[in-house]
A and B are shown apart, each in its own frame.
Chain A
Amino acid sequence: MMASIKLEGLEKTYPGGVQAVKGVDLEVADGEFVVLVGPSGCGKSTLLRMVAGLETISAGALYIGKRRVNELEPAQRDIAMVFQNYALYPHMTVFDNLAYGLKNRGFKRDEIRRRVEEAARMLEIEAFLPRKPRQLSGGQRQRVAMGRALVREPAVFLFDEPLSNLDAKLRVQMRVEIKRLQRRLKTTSLYVTHDQLEAMTLGDRLVVLNGGRIEQVGTPMEIYARPASLFVATFIGSPAMNLLPLGALLSGPGAASHGALLGDLPPGTGILGIRPDALRLEAPHGPHLTLSATLELFEAAGAESHLHVRLAGSGQPLVIRTAGQPAVAEGQRLHFHITRDALHPFHRETGRRLDDTLKTKEQAA
């Protein structure tokens, strides 16, 4: 059985008055992998736990499939959840951990054995079935936690930062595996993380949360290419998008030539966002801005390098990302270039993105 999820004006106020979720509307299609991403304390876990039935819903409606599930117990919602700390039952073997949910639902012994073994094979944890969780490594426990979720073949998977206790290498490996597994099982999934890279690579769609509200919903590339607000702009992408006050470009060296190119910015533009890789050391063809800055710090990161510079005149700090290792020295005066369409205009007060008519379609793709 598969199912869509629908959140209608979902709100959560904790006893004591903290409003953790302030009205969230969201639809997750059948089989879709949606990632909730946002900074610590933005209400991601709260939202997920409301879907799971572990937190009561203060206001709004929640549908899984066709059913309104606001008042249903977690067990009746046909969901499975993978916890950050895995929450494996420490006194049971791996086999019993996986079998527990099936036993409680009255499955036959043969069926339980068949399903547990199948899940164990899929996750390559067959060898650990007779062991207790404490006899496993972090990565192996993570697999067992996944196994416990998928052995029940639920309509929805919920993940609350399942990879955050793993080391960097294992995290990448498990990330790929989760994605592969979800592709194969086509189970509707909601995945919480505060890691923007994890979010970008895993999700069919991302939901960026901030302070209990949705900032933006879209495919990873939509969000990367057209962040809806300053918050999203700086949260998604690493190194973070540079933010330049428009004034810094309209004064200082070369201001006159900038004025001509920036004349068609939407009214109200106060801040320009520029991705670090949109700042080029070689002049591109076609119209572009040229800025000069002093190199303060050079970071070589293997295939790419990060140049921390300070804009001549206004003294604004910027980060530039280039491929390879350009021949530059700290303290050097550099010139770099931006094409007009790499500028993201944001409103000077609200910080919302201003629709930029010059944006071409292929950038969003």
Chain B
Amino acid sequence: MQTKRMTFPGRWLPYALLAPQVIVTLIFFIWPSLQALYMSLLREDAFGLNSTFVGLANFARLFADDTYLDSLSVTAMFAIGTTLLSMSAALLLAATVNRMLRSRNAYTTLLVWPYAIAPAIAGVLWWFIFNPSIGIVPYALEMLGYRWNHRTSGNDAMMLVIIAAAWKQIAYNFLFFLAGLQSIPQSLIEAAAIDGAGPVKRFWTIVFPLLSPTTFFLMVVNVVYAMFDTFGVIHATTQGGPSQATNTLVYKVYADGFVGLNLGSSAAQSVILMAIVVLLTVVQFRFIERRVNY
């Protein structure tokens, strides 16, 4: 295959064009990362006046700390719950919209709107809807005989943050699933119909397997989202409570560092988070290249 090759007059122009991106990356991503890496090896005294080099002690303490291990399992629960909920809801919506002929565009537009809402605002929205004293959902649940209170019940709180976080991600997943569905040739579905498969069977034996590259891609994106991009949602709804029940890793970084002022530990946690992102990214590229399944 032939690739087009642009040539620039002079040596400095390409560097100049690249510079803004490189500078932004350096200042806002690489520099703080290095800072965190450095700080994770220090310990500050209680007054923040001086710091001493402690090697990997911050990490060792974290993994010996039950609240950190708790937070790890809370995060796992939260990430799995959010991913499952937002992906299954999005797939259901996409499959439904894909069957429509006339109103498809209108629905697509409407369904994409939640994605444009800032996480904190979405959080406040859910805070109102699920508010134990004035919210509509607790009121409805009350009539069904369930007393909802995410301020005292850890399970309720977990449900709340999962719903709030998943809701925002549905739009994104929906778009990808819809595109995935539309790229499946109609004749495959027709062939399966002639081959005696009903709509449900067609979905699970033809459509779903053919969506697997999309599904896998979204799974990684959603896990990354749930783990790192949900600070706003949690902050606006449960603030990690009650009693650490929704204190995910990313929220704990904030709580320990800026509230608890334990900067060394907080930095160590950030470094662990970074390692997880790197790992997920590698997994994603590995599998996407192999195109999963077919």
Contact = CB atoms under 8 A, between A and B. Distances in A.
Given A87-B185, A90-B294, A132-B294, A81 B210 contact: no
A79 interface: yes
B202 to A, nearest CB: 10
Interface stretch (B10-18, B29-37, B193-201): B193-201
Given A104-B197, A132-B294, A134-B294, A91 B191 contact: no
Chain B residues touching A, majority SS: helix
B194 A79 contact: yes
Contacts of B101: 15
Contact of B196 (A87, A91, A104): A104
Given A83-B187, A104-B201, A89 B194 contact: no
B2 interface: no
B193 A89 contact: no
B188 interface: yes
Given A83-B187, A104-B201, A91 B193 contact: no
Chain A residues touching B, majority SS: loop
Given A15-B101, A90-B210, A100 B192 contact: yes
B79 to A, nearest CB: 28
A71 interface: no
A182 B101 CA distance: 38
A81 B194 contact: yes
Given A83-B191, A87-B185, A91-B209, A101 B294 contact: no
B133 interface: no
B193 A74 contact: yes
Interface string A260-286: 000000000000000000000000000
Contacts of B205: 100
B185 A85 contact: yes
A100 B187 contact: no
A81 B187 CA distance: 10
Nearest to A77: B194
A54 interface: yes
B188 A89 contact: yes
B194 A74 contact: yes
Interface in B206-230: 206, 209-210, 212
B293 interface: yes
Interface string B93-128: 000000001000000000000000000000000000
Interface residues of B, number: 21
A75 interface: yes
A52 interface: yes
Contacts of A105: 196
B188 A54 contact: no
A84 B206 CA distance: 19
Contacts of B190: 52, 54, 74, 81, 83, 87
Contact of A91 (B197, B198, B201, B294): B294
Count class of interface residues, chain A:
20 to 34
A91 B194 contact: no
A70 to B, nearest CB: 16
A101 B192 CA distance: 8
Given A91-B293, A91-B294, A104-B201, A52 B209 contact: no
Interface string A102-118: 00110000000000000
B225 to A, nearest CB: 27
A75 B193 contact: yes
Contacts of B210: 90-91
Contacts of A192: none
Contacts of A101: 194-196
Nearest to B194: A74
Contacts of B206: 89
A73 interface: yes
Interface string A166-181: 0000000000000000
Nearest to A106: B196
B188 to A, nearest CB: 5
A134 B188 CA distance: 15
A35 B55 CA distance: 82
Contacts of A87: 185, 187-188, 190-191
A75 B190 CA distance: 10
Nearest to A99: B195
Contacts of B201: 104
Contacts of A84: 187
A150 interface: no
A36 interface: no
B194 A100 contact: no
Nearest to A149: B194
A167 B187 CA distance: 22
Given A91-B294, A100-B205, 17 more contacts: A74-B193, A75-B194, A75-B197, A75-B198, A81-B190, A83-B191, A85-B187, A87-B185, A87-B191, A89-B191, A90-B188, A90-B210, A91-B210, A104-B195, A105-B196, A148-B191, A148-B195
Identify the 7 closest CB pairs spanning chains A and B, nearest first. Answer: A101-B195, A104-B196, A87-B187, A91-B294, A75-B196, A87-B191, A74-B194
12 contacts: A54-B193, A73-B193, A75-B193, A75-B194, A75-B196, A80-B194, A81-B191, A90-B188, A90-B294, A100-B197, A101-B194, A104-B196
Interface of B: 101, 185, 187-188, 190-198, 201, 205-206, 209-210, 212, 293-294
